[in-house]
């Protein structure tokens, strides 16, 4: 009896120990487990502005009104052109005349400018003469040439007066460099000339004129040459 009771008590104690150990293990496991909570924020709501229907409608209306106005103006002009005889006859005539004028101008501009003929003429030469004895007026019969270029005298002076078929006086403005060359000659306008070639004769003669060299003179010295033609 004592042996059975001892065995029974032993088993009771053993089972109690096992139960206590298992309970302790479960408590420890529950403490070690970590609870993770995932908090996800909901997406933010973005307010999308609604299109301004009023402005778009207003622009469309303005464009339509402008288009209607332009179309109305064009119709008015077309109607006026149909009703008014001016657009049928006079206006058309003026357009044709303008086109002809433009065509004629283009033809004139396309033509090559002919080279001016160089006329032969004698020359008065002063090489080897005393500068003090040289006069600025040269006579050729009743015709004469007079020039003015301060403190300068001619070295070579062409004489075109014998070319004239009728009389007249031409003054040519000249520009002379320090070497004595005429770098520019321009005849002044003259009225009542019976021979229209006189300005050309005078200009060519002035361009071929040579004066003495003077390094103290202005780089461009201005003067005049006057040709008095007598009919030959």
Burial class (CB in 10 A: 0-12, 13-18, 19+), 206: buried
Give the model's confidence band at 48: pLDDT under 50 very low, under 70 low, under 90 confident, else very high. Answer: low
**Element of type H or E holding 78:** helix 53-83
**Torsion over CA: 59, 62, 67, 68 (sign):** positive
- Which two tokens mark 51? 């299109």
Domains of the chain are: 124-229 (3.30.2420)
Cα distances (angstroms) measured from residue 44 to each of 40, 41, 47:
12, 9, 10
Give the model's confidence band at 26: pLDDT under 50 very low, under 70 low, under 90 confident, else very high. Answer: low
Give the model's confidence band at 13: pLDDT under 50 very low, under 70 low, under 90 confident, else very high. Answer: confident
Asked if residue 147 lies in contact with residue 223, where contact means CB atoms within 8 angstroms, the answer is: yes
Asked if residue 145 lies in contact with residue 161, where contact means CB atoms within 8 angstroms, the answer is: yes
The per-residue pLDDT for range 187-215, each reduced to its tens digit, is: 998 877 888 889 999 999 999 999 999 99
Which residue did the predictor score with more confidence, 109 or 204? 204
d(CA 146, CA 153): 11
Q: What is the per-residue pLDDT for 44?
A: 60
Kindly tell me if the per-residue pLDDT of 177 is higher than 80: yes
Which residue did the predictor score with more confidence, 232 or 76? 232
Q: What is the per-residue pLDDT for 14?
A: 80
Kindly tell me if the per-residue pLDDT of 149 is higher than 90: yes
Q: What is the per-residue pLDDT for 52?
A: 53
DSSP state of 114: P
In degrees rounded to 5, what are phi and psi of residue 22?
A: -65, -40
Q: What is the per-residue pLDDT for 79?
A: 62
Which residue did the predictor score with more confidence, 118 or 74? 118
Least confident of 75-89, 151-165, 167-181, 192-206: 75-89
Kindly tell me if the per-residue pLDDT of 221 is higher than 60: yes
Give the model's confidence band at 50: pLDDT under 50 very low, under 70 low, under 90 confident, else very high. Answer: low
């Amino acid at each position: 009896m004592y042996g059975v009771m001892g065995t029974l008590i032993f088993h009771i104690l053993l089972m109690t120990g096992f139960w206590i150990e298992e309970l302790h293990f479960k408590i420890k496991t529950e403490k070690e487990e970590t609870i993770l909570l995932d908090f996800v924020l909901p997406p933010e709501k973005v307010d999308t502005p609604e299109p301004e229907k009023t402005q778009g409608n207003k622009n469309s209306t303005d464009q339509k009104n402008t288009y209607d106005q332009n179309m109305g103006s064009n119709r008015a002009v077309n109607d006026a052109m149909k009703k008014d005889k001016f657009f049928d006859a006079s206006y058309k005539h003026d357009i044709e005349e303008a086109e002809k004028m433009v065509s004629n101008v283009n033809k004139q501009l396309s033509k090559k400018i002919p080279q001016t003929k160089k006329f032969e003429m004698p020359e008065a030469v002063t090489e080897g003469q005393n500068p003090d004895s040289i006069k600025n007026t040269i006579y050729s019969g009743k015709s004469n040439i007079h020039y003015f270029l301060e403190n300068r005298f001619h070295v070579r002076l062409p004489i075109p007066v014998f070319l004239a078929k009728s009389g007249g006086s031409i003054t040519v403005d000249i520009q002379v460099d320090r070497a004595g060359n005429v770098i520019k000659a321009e005849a002044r306008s003259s009225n009542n000339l019976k021979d229209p070639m006189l300005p050309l004769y005078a200009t060519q003669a002035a361009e071929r004129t040579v004066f003495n060299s003077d390094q103290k003179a202005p780089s461009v010295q201005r003067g005049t040459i006057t040709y008095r033609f007598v009919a030959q």
